[in-house]
Structure 1
């Protein structure tokens, strides 16, 4: 069975909005973290906004990383999009938890949710997430979109925490099943 893995850039106070992240120097350790994710990826699951941002950027990028990233199957959760042009891609049918449960049963590599906070929150709430991978930036935003909802606690077990040498810590968690 495929694993569903959330990957987010996040502040220490849980805000997952790119424009609210403190400035850090991107370094080789961060590049390696993202390259390792790409090697482990069999597909991407994206919400509409993240899909549109990525589709507007990645097809024009070149190099090994971009070629692999662009070639990954993309599953898009959207009720407003009627078509997806960044191939290979398909729109998911039906309620998100049921569609993702079906995807996890199919053959193929792990499915990564990049960004797409509302999608990630729904899947955490539905108990469909196998791992949460965070690049935790050294700063608090104070306000913004939180990855973890304040009204629905999510129990997590730490798998690893690795400082990346620029103030960012790569953290991986395993959700703890509800009793």
Structure 2
């Protein structure tokens, strides 16, 4: 059975919205504020995560963002992302053109539950805040990895975004990446 891993870049106050500044959010572009050592450490951690993943699971907008950038890149990280299976949750995307991409049809909880049954290993969710919330709300997420950036934005969409119920998590790991990023790994605790 597969494990859903939500992997997010977040500000210190939990904002995940528009890290690259492409969405037009007035406080977007906060990812670019990290220095070279942090960027190198971040890239190393993300590449390691991609190597451990068996598949990517993305919402449509995140899929389109990645699909517009990664196919033209080269190197081991690009080779890994471009070759691995990718699943897109979308009601509008019909024919994804990024290599090894498939659209999951139907209601998200059922489609993702079936995917978890079909695959073994880690199914990593990058970005995709609406999808991440849906997965957490329906108790489909198994692990949460947060790369915390040392910036407080004071406004913006968070990964949790007003969940309907309390969620319990257990810290599995924490470490410093570069000079100023915190990498936190949690598992979701399910009622016994």
The TM tier, using the shorter chain, reads: over 0.9
**Deviation digits for residues 76-132 of structure 1 (CA, Å, limit 9, x no counterpart):** 001111211112111101111111111111134310000000000000011111100
Check whether the contact 2:53–2:123 (CA below 8 A) recurs between aligned residues: yes
Are 1:155 and 2:168 an aligned pair? Answer: yes
Structure 1 portions without partners, runs of 5+:
none
Q: Could you say which residue in structure 2 is the equivalent of 1:33?
A: 45
User: Which residue matches 2:185?
Assistant: 172
2:80 corresponds to 1:68: yes
Which residue of structure 2 aligns with residue 100 of structure 1? 112
Structure 2 gap segments, 5+ residues each: 22-27
Offset from partner CA, 1:9-41 (integer Å, 9 cap, x none): 001111102133351124432222112101111
- TM-score (normalizing by structure 1): 0.94
Q: Which stretch of the first structure deviates more once superposed, 145-154 or 73-82?
A: 145-154
Q: For 1:124 and 1:70, how far apart are their aligned partners in 2? A: 27
Q: RMSD of the alignment, in Å?
A: 1.5
Across the two proteins, how many residue pairs are aligned to each other?
Answer: 179
Aligned residue in 1 for 2:98: 86
Calculate the TM-score normalised by the size of structure 2.
Answer: 0.88
> How far 1:178 moved relative to its partner?
4.2
Residue aligning to 2:24: none
Structure-1 separation of matches of 2:173 and 2:120: 25
Counterpart contact for 2:54–2:121, Cα < 8 Å? yes
**Is 1:54 equivalent to 2:66 in the alignment?**
yes
Contact 2:16/2:159 (<8 A) preserved = yes
Rounded to whole Å, the distance in 2 between the matches of 1:28 and 1:53 is 21
In 1: Cα distance, 2:2 partner to 2:89 partner: 18
For 1:24, the equivalent position in structure 2 comes to 34
Q: Distance in 2 between matches of 1:107 and 1:24?
A: 35
Q: Is 1:143 paired with 2:155?
A: yes
